A and B are shown apart, each in its own frame.
Chain A
Amino acid sequence: MTLLANFLAIAIVLNIIESLVPVIPVPGAKLGFANIVTLIILYVYSFKDSATITILRVLLVSLLTGKLLGPVFYMSFSGAIFATFAMGFFKKTNLFGVLGVSVIGSIFHCIGQIIAGIFVIGSSAVIFYLPIMLVLSIPAGVVTGLITQRFLVIWQTWHNEFEN
């Protein structure tokens, strides 16, 4: 349990750090590095745990940065939900490895943000930012995936050793 809490803390920090990097003038749009934690929990624990921690993460970050229920919150929340469910689903199908799931999560994270953005701003003009965000989300997803992959391999070795 404490481990999960630690993961949550890490996720929050990652989230705050990445929000310092403005991607587009629709603030709240993030690259999705905090997804690393979501992904790890998804593989190490379960989908439910992953979803819970992710939602908690979004809520807490919003509280901490003082932007609860603001446009930034909605976009983060939407992106996180889309990403988490997409990743959960694709992991289940066992079609892809961590890298693939990560990239999928990244793409859906971006789509979720854009959709929320359209509602928040009240205009479909936000869709203009879709292409650039998609283009950025692929390498972001790859990086996230590689980091997670590496982590999981180490974790597994460590976990196995520990168990024995």
Chain B
Amino acid sequence: MKKIFFFPVLMMFIMLLSACTNKEEGSIFSAVFFQMDSEIRINYMANNQDQANEIKAHIGEVYAMYHSLSDNYAPLEEDSPYLENIYTLNSKINQDVEIDYELYMMLDESSRIKELTDGYFDISIGKIVKAWKDVILDPESRDDGYVIPQSVFEDLQDEIGLIEVQENPFTLSESSEKYYVRINHIDVQLDLGAIAKGYATEIVKDYLIENDVIYFAINAGSSTIAVGKNSNPERKNQQWNVELIDPLFDNEYFGLIELRDQAIATSGNNVQYATYNGLRYHHIVSPLTKYSMHYYHSLTMIGNDAGLLDALSTAFFSMSPETITSWLAIHQEELGIEVILYNYDGTITTHLLDTIFVGY
């Protein structure tokens, strides 16, 4: 009699145990870096602690390097291995200055993107951006929504009026394995803030892929994200689910996207802005008008190259919806770029290819 029970019990145990999902080889490690004014969090799967440490160290070096090179608030440290950073460069006008290869490549990429975006992305308007930041981030104004007094705004307008956006702000050159940049006009101040983080993240991403790290996610200050696959068994397609913050309402979200082996960059006007005549002015200034434009409250770019996306997310913020549409008509397919626009009136416009976006 008892024997009859043995078999079904055994079967049940086997069934239950085999329901355990298979975990991938390796464990998830994470690292946090504080660079480029951001908290950068990286989760990645490595085979063991040694490999994980090696990866973490290398990533730290990459971010530290690009942080140093793109710094426009202070000169390089005394013992720095680099030749120049943006801060020191900005004081050397009309002279050929030797720079490190990495900085050269970043400047080169910036020029390329300026052409690609018909001038909407321009790293040379640092002087104009600083004038705006001085007003918006004025120590007297703590909360967002600080209203700019008319006199202050008008003074700012005068100041900006005197600064011209240059068509050839700087020239890059190379000779015998040395790299040079020459700033061509006193009105030019370089500012890599709109591309450095994404650019560095792209390099880190390439490094991870080269080292066969398949499962990873890089979250640089929530404005740049680059991911591989997600090893969480809960995600059916090994994707990372990204929720989009609503720029108009605290702690609210307006949609969800699924990402895998892709990058995202976002731009928005809800982090430190000031108001004038009911409109928000912030750190993204149009190189064409020298003012913040008011087409969108935030936008999200999806694609493959984190650096390009970072730059484009800035450029697009100054483009009108029509300009974006015609630009995408030319470039979208070739570059695989997708866009989600949170318009100034609260509506959402999307230009998507394959990515799944679920609006709330």
Chain A directly contacts chain B within the complex, with at least one CB pair under 8 Å: no
Report which B residues bind A (CB closer than 8 A).
Answer: none
Which residues on A are within 8 Å of B, measured CB to CB?
none
